[in-house]
Amino acid sequence: MEKKLLISISILLILTLIYFLSSTITGRIIYPDSYAYTTAICNETNYCEDYIINCEGNNLKKFTPTGLSIQNNKDWIDERKDKTLCS
């Protein structure tokens, strides 16, 4: 009986350890410099489209339109300072 209890507790501890280790593993471990964000990119008539930007370090990996856009008025000024996509 004690042997079965010891085996059961050992299995439970191993499963608990596996659960906690697997919950802390993320894509950041595999690709530590990968990140994504959205930004609006505007043309000379202030028509802006939203894009998902995927970067790996300072390199652009993927540039995907979200389908969202806005037409700003002609006097609108884009005041964002940093216009680089992956920096």
Q: Read off the pLDDT of residues 32-58 as tens digits, 9 standing for 90 and up.
A: 788 899 999 999 999 999 999 999 888
- What is the reported pLDDT for 22? 64
The verdict on pTM exceeding 0.85 is: no
Q: Quick one: how far is CA 12 from the chain centroid? A: 33
Q: Which residues are paired to 52 by β-bridges?
A: 38, 64
* Residue 52: how many other CB atoms lie within 10 Å: 13
